[in-house]
């Protein structure tokens, strides 16, 4: 199986590079705007510890919103179901940084993967702790899940977003006005920007995702019910207003980030990390989405059979 998969990935890598249809890098975070869009990497962790990879699978990139999956896992471990009093579980049908539905929903974000929802999750992780401790928990989770201590925060990316993240500042203040932010907005925002600035390679991210995919041999860090629920949220909300299209094309739970990363979960079968920094109109990786679609078709891993 690995040899066939490896050959498929090599072909996919060559095809994507030849097509050259990369999309646009995220320009609103200056440090990400400098990244060359013409890059691609993919890594697939298999049950029992196998790993198949192609392209720039060892190159570190800014995981951005993919971090929201892991901050949610940490919060579920801390307070469990209580988090759902502060954030919903419904797709938003809007851009990741939209403020519109917050007004309708009176400050309770529709899900933990849009920015407003992730700010609430991070705010919860800060309960009774300083930002360094909350960030250490997220990093600790990722390092333990990946069984790799060499995972860090890129401070330049965090600083760059802090300088220009006016929309997130607006969202945090808005949440605060509805009483759904416990910490001062600047504290929650600073923690959130640092969490988004964690950098990982595809190989590291695929290894970390094993705990959500529930792969045999993965560290026992998430109960099956939590992994199932996180996967359901990834399917419904992981690609924002592009989630329906992603489910239609790929049929697997996935979470994207504006750094161009996608974590894809085939429950029990594989944890896949894909990276290509050029984005499509939804703010999701253009070639990453294409690669996910091709992989799902090739392997038959879609959860819909
Ligand atoms: N740090 C980014 C932001 O808040 C994350 C967004 C994303 O990856 N979609 O805008």
pLDDT in tens, the chain (305 residues): 689 999 999 999 999 999 999 999 999 999 999 999 999 999 999 999 999 999 999 999 999 999 999 999 999 999 999 999 999 999 999 999 999 989 999 999 999 999 999 999 999 999 999 999 999 999 999 999 999 999 999 999 999 999 999 999 999 999 999 999 999 999 999 999 999 999 999 999 999 999 999 999 999 999 999 999 999 999 999 999 999 999 999 999 999 999 999 999 999 999 999 999 999 999 999 999 999 999 999 999 999 98
Nearest-CA residue for atom 2 of ligand 1: 64
Q: What are the C-alpha distances in Å from 128 to residues 51, 141, 241?
A: 39, 19, 34
Nearest one of 112, 82, 108, 43 to 292, comparing CA atoms: 43
- Longest Cα separation, the chain: 55
Q: Does the Cβ of 98 fall within 6 Å of ligand 1?
A: no
Q: Is 61 in the pocket of ligand 1 (CB under 6 A)?
A: no
Active site residues per annotation = 65, 68, 192, 240, 258
pLDDT for the residue numbered 305: 84
State if residue 260 touches ligand 1 by the CB under 6 angstroms criterion: no
Nearest residue by C-alpha to atom 4 in ligand 1: 115
pLDDT confidence of residue 1? 66
Give me the pLDDT at residue 168, please: 98
Query: Which domains are delineated in the chain?
Result: 2-62+199-298 (3.40.710.10), 65-196 (3.40.710.10)
The number of the ligand 1 atom at minimal distance from the alpha carbon of 197 is: 1
Decide if 226 contacts 282 (C-beta within 8 A).
no
Ligand 1, atom 3, residue with closest C-alpha: 115
Q: Does the Cβ of 96 fall within 6 Å of ligand 1?
A: yes
Helical H segments across 178-255, by residue range: 185-196, 202-213, 224-237, 243-249
What is the Å distance from ligand 1's center to 64 Cα? 6
CA of 7 relative to ligand 1 center, distance in Å: 33
Task: Establish whether residue 102 lines the binding site of ligand 1, counting it when its CB lies within 6 angstroms of any ligand atom.
Answer: no
Pocket probe mutation, ligand 1, options 23, 24, 26, max atoms within 8 Å of Cβ: 26
User: Any idea of the CA torsion for 146, 147, 150, 152, to the nearest 10 degrees?
Assistant: 40
The atom number, within ligand 1, closest to the CA of 259 reads 8
């Amino acid at each position: 199986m690995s040899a066939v998969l490896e050959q498929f990935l090599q072909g996919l890598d060559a095809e994507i590079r030849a097509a050259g249809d990369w999309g646009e890098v995220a320009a609103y975070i200056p440090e990400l705007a400098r990244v060359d869009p013409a890059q691609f990497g993919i890594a697939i962790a298999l049950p029992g510890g196998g790993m198949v990879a192609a392209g720039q699978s060892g190159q570190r990139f800014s995981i951005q919103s993919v971090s929201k999956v892991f901050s949610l896992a940490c919060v579920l471990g801390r307070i469990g179901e209580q988090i759902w009093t502060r954030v919903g579980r419904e797709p938003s049908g809007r851009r990741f940084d939209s403020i519109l539905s917050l007004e309708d929903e009176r400050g309770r974000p529709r899900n933990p993967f849009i920015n407003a929802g992730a700010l609430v999750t991070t705010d919860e992780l800060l309960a009774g702790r300083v930002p360094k401790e909350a960030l250490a928990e997220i990093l600790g989770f990722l390092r333990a899940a990946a069984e790799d201590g060499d995972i860090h925060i890129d401070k330049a990316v965090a600083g760059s977003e802090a300088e220009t993240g006016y929309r997130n500042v607006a969202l945090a203040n808005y949440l605060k006005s509805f009483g759904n932010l416990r910490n001062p907005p600047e504290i929650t925002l600073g923690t959130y920007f640092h969490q988004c600035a964690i950098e990982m390679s595809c190989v590291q991210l695929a290894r970390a995702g094993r705990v959500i995919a529930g792969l045999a041999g993965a560290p026992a860090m998430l109960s099956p019910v939590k992994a199932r629920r996180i996967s359901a949220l990834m399917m419904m909300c992981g690609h924002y207003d592009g989630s329906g299209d992603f489910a239609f094309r790929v049929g697997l739970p996935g979470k994207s980030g504006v750094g161009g990363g996608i974590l894809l979960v085939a429950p029990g079968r594989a944890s896949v990390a894909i990276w290509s920094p050029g984005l499509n109109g939804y703010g999701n990786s253009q070639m990453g989405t294409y690669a996910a679609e091709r992989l799902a078709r090739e392997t038959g891993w879609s959860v819909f059979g």
